[in-house]
Amino acid sequence: DAKTTQPPSMDCAEGRAANLPCNHSTISGNEYVYWYRQIHSQGPQYIIHGLKNNETNEMASLIITEDRKSSTLILPHATLRDTAVYYCIVQGAQKLVFGQGTRLTINP
Amino acid sequence: GAVVSQHPSRVICKSGTSVKIECRSLDFQATTMFWYRQFPKQSLMLMATSNEGSKATYEQGVEKDKFLINHASLTLSTLTVTSAHPEDSSFYICSARVREWGYGYTFGSGTRLTVV
């Protein structure tokens, strides 16, 4: 499975859009990009996934570059409850392997 | 939908005893479940893949005899930490793939194990 690179931490003001980048330059054609988040002392939560088209759901938007080598997760109006570790994972075969993720802190 | 219920959420046990953690898929069938362990300030580490009706597949470095996994039905997988020691204290999380989510993963709420 392709490796991903994320910044270790980010800050965002409450009410603003939070844009979390992810690099996955070795992604192969049939691998999807998934985003999960983990709030302290809880199990991870699925957010969104995509292959090559941009995706949007009630939680977030996912923008994937045309060459698929990077993506951005957008939380349009961040709240304090969005403070969490966000994981970008390229998911191919059976196993889901977590990197270190981005620790996003939403500030009041 | 696609909820995985994990119990207990928190357990304290004495060194040398065994602890069982249950993971149930409530509204879907999970032929495969995954068990993770997470130490403080670290990411999740996959321990094993649990397959319904067959033996679990363990990741390198995970002791099969210490972490017993049973997946007897399409909705239940259990992880038993045998002869627990303080170094087994960790956050244990189960997960399953959901076809309706493009085979994304749903996760249990985790079990905080403390061995004293």
**B19-52 tens-digit pLDDT:** 999 999 998 888 889 999 999 989 999 999 988 8
**B45-73 tens-digit pLDDT:** 999 998 888 889 999 999 999 999 999 88
Q: Give pLDDT, residue A51.
A: 92
Q: What is the mean pLDDT of residues A14-20?
A: 97
β-strands B111-115, B10-13 pairing: parallel
Q: Give pLDDT, residue A107.
A: 96
The rounded distance, in Å, linking the Cα atoms of B17 and B13 is: 7
Q: Residues of B with CB below 8 A from A43's CB?
A: 4, 6, 93, 95, 107-110
Dihedrals φ, ψ of B91, to 5°? -105, 120
Q: Give pLDDT, residue A94.
A: 63
Cα–Cα distances (Å) from B99 to A1, A43, A88, B49, B107, in that order, read: 19, 19, 19, 17, 14
Q: Is A39 on the interface with B (CB under 8 A)?
A: no
The verdict on a CB contact (< 8 Å) between B104 and A97 is no
Contacts across the A-B interface (CB distance below 8 Å): 55
The rounded distance, in Å, linking the Cα atoms of B116 and B113 is: 10
Dihedrals φ, ψ of A32, to 5°? -95, 155
Q: B84: exposed, middle or buried (C-beta count within 10 Å: 0-12, 13-18, 19+)?
A: buried
- Cα–chain center distance at B63: 14
